[in-house]
Structure 1
């Protein structure tokens, strides 16, 4: 007899609402929405009880993070130490190598990561078994308004707000960039996790006022081949910093954890 995964969902935003509604409607066989954790009162609109984190850990065997990197930093180890599994959507938190090591060493719960808005990560992981890649580049292009950050000076903000074409906002490694754009560049961390080296992934963040889609272009090369992945997603209308596909990537990961068969792993 199969075991039903009892899911606690952290966050009732652009990602959480889609994931939670699908779970509540029984769209993920083998998983049920047990509760929602959010620091805002959700009222009667929520399809499951709103609980505290402590209450959720008593009732759930899987916590799904859909609320940002801060949740992973604050609660990740405690979730795993309680024996509850954790599915992380905000992979940018893992650019903190100390945190990443602590999460991977914690238990008895297990930590999982979803690829979110980008593909090809499984292939990059497979290629890595041959040895390190010589070069990995990621270019992320988004609407300027989704990239504005509190640390930006007036000059850079003016460039973003008056741009008539693509403007490079930042370049660096996958160690540096997700820290500066915590809601917009989790993809950089996901690529780095696949490659196995935060410093090997060179990242460019581009603002484009004409960007109807959020675009991620990954280019990698090594002794055994060259690889290019180019994805363009519609932004979520309620939260343009997030691509519409992200909650469905979370649901796919949930389906795998719930034991659905017949899929590519």
Structure 2
């Protein structure tokens, strides 16, 4: 008899609703939604029981995080030490070296992450085996309103709000940027995890009032070759800070973990 992967979902927002609905409708063979964790009452519309985090851990094989970096920081180790696996959508949390080390050392549960809104990560991981990349750059372009943060001063906010073209909001490394944009730059962390070096990935965040699509451009080069990946996603209508494709990347990861065959992993 085929074992069914019992999934607990944390977060019923733009990502969680799509993932949870697909699971509840049986779209992921070998996986079922057993519970939902959210700090808001979901009512009868929820396709699975709304439970506490502790109850979700006790009743499932895999926790899917779809609620932000804070969940990974607060609950990641507890999930893994209980023996439950963890699939992380908010990869920006893993740019915290100490947290990443603790998660990797925790167990017996296993931690996985999804590439989310960017492609080419499998190729970067393969190239990395040949030797270090000399240069890795990521340029992320989004609507100004999706990039506004509490730490920004009035001058920067005014430039973003009055911009008629692209404006650089921040430049730094994949270690620096996800901390400053916890809900909108997980791609930087995903690229860095594939490359294996947070400080090697240079990141530029650009606000563009004409950005009808969220754009990510990854450029990497080394002695073994040069690589360029560009994606332009429609933003999620309910949460423009998230690309519409992200929950489907989570579902693809879930399908792989549930053991569905006949796909490229």
The TM-score bracket by the shorter chain reads over 0.9
**CA drift at 1:2:** 1.7
Give the Cα–Cα distance (whole angstroms) in 2 for the partners of residues 170 and 57 of structure 1.
Answer: 38
Equivalent pairs, count: 265
**CA drift at 1:166:** 0.2
**CA drift at 1:243:** 0.2
Give the Cα–Cα distance (whole angstroms) in 2 for the partners of residues 2 and 119 of structure 1.
Answer: 31
Which residue is 2:250 aligned to? 250
The Cα offsets for residues 150-191 of structure 1, whole Å up to 9 and x where unpaired, read as 000000000010000000000000000000000010000000
Which residue is 2:176 aligned to? 176
The Cα offsets for residues 205-261 of structure 1, whole Å up to 9 and x where unpaired, read as 000000010000000000100000000000000000000000000000000000000
The Cα offsets for residues 54-100 of structure 1, whole Å up to 9 and x where unpaired, read as 11111101000000000000000000000000000000000100000
Give the Cα–Cα distance (whole angstroms) in 1 for the partners of residues 212 and 37 of structure 2.
Answer: 32
Runs of 4 or more off by more than 4 Å in structure 1? none
**CA drift at 1:11:** 0.2
TM-score after normalising by structure 1: 1.00
Which residue is 1:122 aligned to? 122
TM-score after normalising by structure 2: 1.00
Q: How does 1:207-226 map to 2 (within 5 A)?
A: 207-226=207-226
Which residue is 1:37 aligned to? 37
Give the Cα–Cα distance (whole angstroms) in 2 for the partners of residues 172 and 58 of structure 1.
Answer: 40
Which residue is 2:104 aligned to? 104
Q: How does 1:1-265 map to 2 (within 5 A)?
A: 1-265=1-265
Specify every segment of 5 or more residues in structure 2 that has no aligned partner in the other structure, as ranges. none
The Cα offsets for residues 9-44 of structure 1, whole Å up to 9 and x where unpaired, read as 000000000000000000000000000000111111
Specify every segment of 5 or more residues in structure 1 that has no aligned partner in the other structure, as ranges. none
